[in-house]
Every structure is written in structure tokens, then in C-alpha cells.
Amino acid sequence: MEPLIDIVLEDPRWQALGLELLADRAARATLASLNLPTEGFQIVVMGCDDARIAALNADHRGKTKPTNVLSWPAEERAPDAAGQVPESPEPGDPDDPESLGDIALAYETCATEAADQGKPLTDHVTHLTVHGILHLLGYDHIDDKDAELMEETEVRILATLGLADPY
């Protein structure tokens, strides 16, 4: 059986922080909150530095600066109308899981934001991982109605992990 999270560590600071366990916990909580099984899905999470995420941000979004988290859904799942819940993906076989997509997190940006917000880095990274996974599942925050739904969903998931409302 394949693990839910496939971790890629490009910066050793992520190993010290325990990104693999944080990402796995966030992913399991996110899927459970959305009534999705934790078996039959796979998510790639990359822990990198600001330079790497800035290059990815430039390549994929045309923005030449680092950001905290980027996500690449394996499939477009956005709903037809703003504020609607995206359609849930179908799980694959536990031995051949369905890819939900990839997430990248930038260490320096995450650490700076956590310090600026006066919260533990692990809590902030957990929130950003949940945020990235919701993007993989078709949630977005471009439209106000979509943003409201996504934020409510994040807050609900984070509460199951004992984390405070980040908004």
C-alpha cells in the first residue's frame, strides 16, 4: 500500500521540522473532514527554499518572487459556480492511488510569516498544507464566495487538529 504523502525534501530544514509527519497529519484531517478516504489517494509535498519556490512561481504564475505555498492539481475540480463545493475525486486502488497533485512549501517565507504572526512554525505549515490540499481538491479564493467557502473549510479542518482560526 502506498503512503498518502510522498515527500520531497530539497531543504534539510524541513526534515528537522518534521514536514513529512505534519503533511501527513494535515492531509488525513483534510480528507476526513471532506468525507474522503485516506487510502486510494496520493499527494506529493515538496519542502524547498525561497529561491526554488520563486523560480516555480515565475514559471507557473509569472510572479518573480517567493510565496509560501504553491499547488498543482492533478485534475481541474473547480465547481461551475462560485461558492459551490467542488466535486469530490474518486479514490484509486490502495496499491495504485489516485494522484491529487503536488504542493510546494518555501521554508524562509513560511518561517517569516509564522514569526510575524506570533505562531509556531508547525501550526503555520499545517495550515498552509491544508490550504494547498484544498486547492488540489478544487477549492479556490479568487471569488469572494469561493474564498468564504475555502476559509470556512480550512477553519473547520484546523479545529479538528486543535489549531486556532488563522483568519
Query: What 3-state DSSP class applies to 94?
Result: coil
60 is in an annotated binding site: no
Report pTM: 0.96
166 found inside a domain: no
128 found inside a domain: yes
CATH code, domain carrying 66: 3.40.390.30
37 found inside a domain: yes
167 found inside a domain: no
9 found inside a domain: yes
10 found inside a domain: yes
Candidates 163, 164, 166, 167; CA nearest to 22 is 163
100 found inside a domain: yes
Averages of pLDDT over runs of 10 residues in the chain (167 residues) are 85 97 97 95 98 96 95 93 93 92 98 97 98 97 94 97 94
Q: How many domains does the chain have?
A: 1
Element (H, E) at 73: strand 69-73
Residue 94 confidence (pLDDT): 83
135 is in an annotated binding site: yes
124 is in an annotated binding site: no
Residue 3 confidence (pLDDT): 73
Q: What is the domain extent for residue 28? A: 5-85+92-160
165 found inside a domain: no
